[in-house]
Structure 1
Amino acid sequence: MTLFRPCIDLHQGKVKQIVGGSLNDAGAKENFVSQYDAAYYAGLYREHQLTGGHVIALGKDDDTRREAISALKAYPQGLQYGGGVTAKNASDYLNAGASHVIVTSYLFENGEFSWDRLDKIKRETGTDRLVLDLSCRRTEDGWFIATDRWQTVTSTQVTMDNLIELANHCDEFLIHAADVEGLQAGIDEDLVKLLGQGCPVDVTYAGGARSLEDLKRVHDLSNGTVDLTIGSALDIFGGQGVTLEECIRWNQQK
C-alpha cells in the first residue's frame, strides 16, 4: 500500500516549501516559510508515529545544518537526512539520530556516476542505512538524475534496469520529480508508473502532489509499491489541498 511520507525542507535556516526547479545560489521561489523550527515538525511526526520521512538541507550554511541536527535529535531514528552528505560526514548525521542518510551529488564526478564513491559511502553507512536520491528532470529521452540542487542534469537515466542495479547498494530510493516539485499541479504520472514496475527496494516519490486523491492515484499507478511525500499542499505548510490528519488516517488503513 502507498503510504504518506512526511518531510522537512530547510533553506537558509528556515523550514520552507519551495519550487524545486527555482533553487540556485541566489535563492529560490518560496511557497511557504514557517514560523516554527525543524524540531517542531520532527516532534509532530514523532507524536503521530509517522515514519520514513526525510529532512533535507537545501544549503550548506551553519543555520540550516543546525536546524537539521535539531530535527534529528527531536525524532531519533524517525527521519532520514539529506543535503551535502559525503563519505566523510555520513556517520555524523547517523550519530545525530538519522535513521538513514540520503545521498545524490556526492555520487557524481563531472556528471558521471562514480561507483568508487558509492563504495566509499557504503563502507560508512552500510546498505541498510543508505538512501539513494535519484531526483530527476524530464527530457525528450526520459528522466535523468539531477544533482547540485537539481540544476545539473547528469548522464544517468532513471530506467528500471538502472534502478534494479542500484537497488543492490541501498535500502531505499527517494525520487523528486524536480520539474513539478512545489508547483502543486499534479504528480508526474508517467514517472510513478515507471517506478511501480518492479523496483526491488522501497521508493518514495515527491513532486506535484496536491490532494488526498494523489495518494490514491500513486497507489493505483504503482500497485501500492511507491510511497508519496506531500509538501506545499499540506496544511502544516500553509497549503489548502490536504491536511496532515487526512494523511495520518490514510496511513492507518495499512
Structure 2
Amino acid sequence: MTRFNGCIDLHHGKVKQIVGGSLLDDSPDQLTTNFVSEESPSFYSKLYKENNVTRCHVIKLGPNNDEAAKEALAAWPNGLQVGGGITLDNAQHWLSLGASKVIVTSYLFPGATFSKERLIQLCELVGKDRLVVDVSCRKKNNKWLVAMDKWQTMTDMEVNKETLDMLSQYCSEFLIHAADVEGLCNGIDEALVERLGEWVTIPATYAGGGRSMEDLKLVDKLSNGKVDLTFGSALDIFGGNGVTFQECVEWNEQHK
C-alpha cells in the first residue's frame, strides 16, 4: 500500500520548496522558489517523528546546508535519511551524525557516466541496508534518464527494469524525483509511476508534481501500492493549499 513519506529540502541552510528544473549553479537569479520556511529544520523532524511519518529524507541542495542537516538529524536520531553530496569519504560521517540511511546520486556518476565500482564500494562501506540510491530523472526521447548535480546534468543511465534490478542488489531503497515536474504542483508523472510499479522490487519513494490527496490515491492505483509518495510545495506545512499534513498522517494510519 502506498504511503506518504516526508521530505526536508535544504537550500542555503533554510527549508525551502523549489521548482526542480530551476536549480542552476551558473544562473542563481533564475531560481524559482515556492516557499521559504520560517521554521527550523528540527521543527519538521519533530513533526514527522511525532506523527510516525517514517522513511523521510533530508536533501541538501547545494552548499551551506551541513549545519541545517545536522540539526534535522539531531532532532530525530536514526529517523531520517540524508542526501546531497554523499560520497565514499563522508557517508559514514553522516550515519554517525544520526542518519538512518545515506542517499547517493552524483557520486555514482563521475563525468555523468555510471560507475558500478563506486556503488559496490559504497555498499561495502555502509551496508546495503543503509544505502538509498536516488534515480531522480528527466525525460528525453521517451526515456527517463538519471539526472545529477541538482538535476541539471543528464547521465548515461536509463531508468528501467534492468537498471533498477541491478541497483537493488546494492541498496535497500530508491528515491525518484521526477525533475521535470518537481515543484510545479501540476500532477505526477503518471507514466513513470506506473512503470516504477512494474519495475521496483524494493521500497521506493516518488517525488514530483503531487498536488492533492487524489494523487496519493493515484500513485497507489498506478503502482499497485508498490511506490510511496512525498508531497512538497502542495503541502500546507510548506505553504501549499493542495493537501494538509493531517490528511497525509490519517492516510498512513488507515493504510498500515
For this structure pair, what is the TM-score category when the shorter chain's length is used for normalisation? over 0.9
Deviations along 1:23-74, one digit per CA (max 9) or x if unpaired, are 011432100000011011101111111110000000122xx11000110110
Q: Which residue of 2 aligns with 1:176?
A: 177
**Structure 1 residue 198 displacement after superposition:** 3.9
Deviation at 1:158, TM superposition (A): 0.3
CA contact (8 A) 2:11 2:60 kept: yes
Distance 2:214 2:78 in 1: 29
1:249 maps to which residue?
250
For residue 55 of structure 1, what is the amino acid of its counterpart? V
Equivalent residue letter for 1:46? K
Secondary structure, counterpart of 2:99 in structure 1: coil
Structure 2 residue aligned with 1:22: 22
Shift, 1:141, TM fit: 3.5
DSSP 3-state at the match of 2:121: helix
**Preserved CA contact (<8 Å) 2:112 2:155:** yes
Q: Distance in 1 between matches of 2:58 and 2:200?
A: 23
Structure 2 residue runs without a partner (length 5+): none
Residue matched to 1:31 = 34
Q: Distance in 2 between matches of 1:219 and 1:115?
A: 31
User: What residue number does 1:3 align with?
Assistant: 3
One-letter identity of the residue aligned with 1:201: I
Task: Say yes or no: does 1:135 pair with 2:173.
Answer: no
User: What is the identity percentage for the equivalent residue pairs of Structure 1 and Structure 2?
Assistant: 56
Instruction: Name 1:225's counterpart in structure 2.
Output: 226
What is the aligned-residue RMSD (CA, Å)? 0.8
Q: 2:35, 2:233 within 8 Å by CA — same for their partners in 1?
A: yes
Q: In 1, Cα distance between the equivalents of 2:210 and 2:163?
A: 25
- Structure 1 segments of 4 or more deviating over 6 A? none
User: Is 1:234–2:235 an aligned residue pair?
Assistant: yes
Contact 2:160 2:199 in 1 (8 A): no
Whole-Å separation in 1 of the counterparts to 2:121 and 2:169: 15
| Aligned residue number for residue 68 of structure 1 | 69
Q: Secondary structure at the match of 1:113?
A: coil
In 2, the alpha carbon distance for the partners of 1:111 and 1:79 equals 27
**In structure 1, the residue corresponding to 2:198 is in which secondary structure?**
coil
Q: How much has 1:12 moved relative to structure 2?
A: 0.9
- Corresponding position of 1:43: 46
Equivalenced residue count is 252
TM-score (norm 2): 0.97
| Equivalent in the alignment of 2:122 | 121
Give 3-state SS (helix, strand or coil) of 1:137's partner. Answer: strand
2:74 & 2:124 partners in 1: Cα distance? 24
SS in 1 for 2:73: helix
Would you say the 8 A contact 2:211–2:243 is kept in 1?
Answer: yes
Answer yes or no: is the 8 Å Cα contact 2:164–2:199 preserved in 1: no
Task: Please state whether the residue corresponding to 1:36 is helix, strand or coil.
Answer: coil
1:117-144 CA distance string (max 9 Å, x none): 1122112211000000000000113100
Amino acid at match of 1:184: C
